[in-house]
Amino acid sequence: MTVPSVRMLPPETAFRLVTSERRRRVLAVLFDAGRALDERRLARRVVARSEDADPVSVADERVDEMYLALRHGDLPKLDDAGAIVHHDAAGEVELGPASDDLRPLLRYARTGEL
């Protein structure tokens, strides 16, 4: 039995969130981690995923660029929609109550199957 998510995202919001490849990677990294990540670790893993590289081998400059892009663009959008919870003061990010609404769309974006 599937338990409905705590919060249902309107379809247009869900589609808008997953049209960005970077936001899809953020969500995928958080789903894979299964726990909150600090912003820099999240940025490093998103870069590693985009470059198909080991997170340890990612250049710090690329992590800094991604950190800024996430902090000032993607994290606020995902947080406003409830897909993530951004604990700004602690510098941590975790999946939010609406994240499960996005899981089928992320799967479809990755595999073409629902």
Read off the pTM.
0.88
Environment class of 30 (CB within 10 Å of its CB; exposed 0-12, middle 13-18, buried 19+): buried
The residue with tokens 């990294």 is: 29
Within its chain, how far is the Cα of 57 from the centroid? 21
Phi-psi domain of 88 (left: phi exceeds 0; alpha: psi -120 through 50; beta: other)? alpha
Task: Name 93's bridge partners.
Answer: 37, 86
Q: How confident is the model at residue 13, as a pLDDT?
A: 92
List pLDDT tens digits, range 60-94.
999 999 999 999 999 999 999 999 999 999 999 99
What residue spans define the domains of the chain? 11-111
Q: Is 59 helix (H, G, I), strand (E, B) or coil?
A: coil
